[in-house]
A and B are shown apart, each in its own frame.
Chain A
């Protein structure tokens, strides 16, 4: 397609047309007079012998010229006005004032209606389409313009097939010629889920996702996008995605994830040795230590255990914030999970003079759970209950079946919280005014606990009374209620079921 030609504009037409018509009228006039004169002279119908003859010819020519020009002006006036009106509505440069349809003459001749039709037709779209240049620009130009940007544009038809994707869009076409979008949405908040929702509930909808990668970590040329989607039911295209490439911004966070992983590695080295030798020495020195020294040893063990718990919290928080936190749900019993941390928790409670009582009924159904993560949640909640209760206070852990969920409650009779604190409790780094002064902590324990519980499809909530104590409740779906969903889900994010019995993981070793 020829696209190099500069497109002509509407305002160039009138000067060209009017010049041509005047030129034609004048030239044809002169030609007619010349031919007639030549004819008369040649055939000696009249004799050219007096000045009177030339004056008469000249005058007749002049009068005819004037009359003809006047007729042309009169006859082309509507065309001129129409052109001026078109130029005006098209937004091109033209006469400063557009022709007025309401003049007496226009009203009388009916030309008013013609002008008004033009103005009315244009009033609907003058703003969005105010340039003939744009409308005349070919589709090829638009395509090459879109291919020049680093932002991606993808259009879907109503059957969610990709009907257009520019160069920067993260898509690939397979051998069947089907184009698919390469975006790895986090968890359940996917484009498909949103479109499902839209097709049921919306006529027009927009949504934004941030930090969506197109590839897995460690794959080459991984890009991150902020994705904006516009949905218009029944339109073609029905859905348009605009993808802003934000790799340069987000890659920094990805690298800091590496930093945190390396920092954790360095921190865990010394902790391994400290915990290891404390365990060894606690056994080997058992007979020689005096009572108060036993207590000191216990404090050392509790502290080092907590330290390694904090590192796990930090790692998981960093993973969660960067959408890397994955849970692998397997069938397990709550009692088994608590067993993993039971010794540690008893030790912690004992060293701070709290009475920890745990009642988990033996006949509770199994739950779908990531064991390491869930033991971290229980550890965080019990640790908090110990921290925020009083000397000699009781901490009760109970569990029961509630519908399709197993509900675990961690109750203390400590300082409690006013309502204003409760609402902010699960925010990252949130620490209440009082706890900042009196209790050590990082403010990420509840934040990551909530994230972990929700990634299990569960819920975490709190009931608290100022000065009376708090009860944290975690509910996790029973395995039976989600087993089918987990098995059928190809989504490795949370659908993976490990065989379990062939695996020995840290937590199963806490049983001592």
Chain B
């Protein structure tokens, strides 16, 4: 299935605009929300192919959003989640998020061009089963 719709949950205006601009230029249909609550609502109301999730968010942290979406049951089985953060989480919290995400990336290392290639790679890998990291 081709990736088309993307939800970007990112509170930093510059970073959000930067990613959204490049994603739109590349032809994706992008929604952008800046706070955690809106992010969770958006993710539950509409089916996105990819969700870009920040960790340090106002109102609700990214880890809580991910827990709400994929903690007990997978409410977004058709979506791919890419955690994008600049915050150096401790190992335990990071592992907990990695369990429920398709990728966990440090924003400072991810230019818009690299983000596009990550999304491309996820699209390419869709048909091969993803092995989740053992805990």
Contacts and interface: CB of A to CB of B under 8 A. Distances in A.
Contacts of B12: 269, 272-273
B34 interface: no
B105 A506 contact: yes
A268 interface: yes
A273 B14 contact: yes
B106 A268 contact: yes
Interface hub of B18, B108, B118, B122 (most chain A Cβ within 10 A): B108
Contacts of B98: 503
B45 interface: no
Contacts of B22: 280
Interface residues of A, number: 35
A326 B92 CA distance: 11
B108 A499 contact: no
A contact patch SS:
helix
A503 B110 contact: no
B113 A217 contact: no
Contact of A279 (B86, B104, B112): B112
B102 interface: yes
Interface of B: 12, 14-15, 18-19, 21-22, 56, 86-93, 98, 102-114, 117-118, 121-122, 130-134
Contact of B132 (A271, A276, A283, A499): A499
A280 B109 contact: no
B86 A272 contact: yes
A505 B105 contact: yes
A509 interface: yes
Interface string A476-512: 0000000000000000000001110111111001001
A103 B12 CA distance: 97
B15 to A, nearest CB: 5
Interface in A321-338: 324, 326
Interface in A243-299: 261-262, 264-265, 268-269, 271-273, 275-280, 283
A511 to B, nearest CB: 8
Contacts of A396: none
A308 interface: yes
A315 interface: yes
Contacts of B133: 498-499, 502-503
Given A280-B111, A498-B134, A509-B105, 10 more contacts: A264-B86, A264-B87, A268-B106, A272-B107, A279-B113, A280-B113, A315-B88, A499-B133, A504-B121, A509-B110
Contacts of A272: 12, 15, 18, 86, 107-108, 110
Contacts of B86: 264-265, 268-269, 272
A280 B112 contact: yes
A279 B111 contact: yes
A276 B103 contact: no
Given A273-B14, A276-B112, A280-B18, A499 B104 contact: no
B35 to A, nearest CB: 17
A140 interface: no
Contact of A504 (B87, B109, B118): B118
Contacts of A504: 102-103, 105, 118, 121-122
Contacts of B109: 275, 308, 506, 509
Interface hub of A271, A273, A326, A504 (most chain B Cβ within 10 A): A504
The 8 closest A-B pairs by CB, nearest first: A268-B86, A279-B111, A268-B108, A502-B131, A504-B103, A499-B131, A502-B130, A506-B109
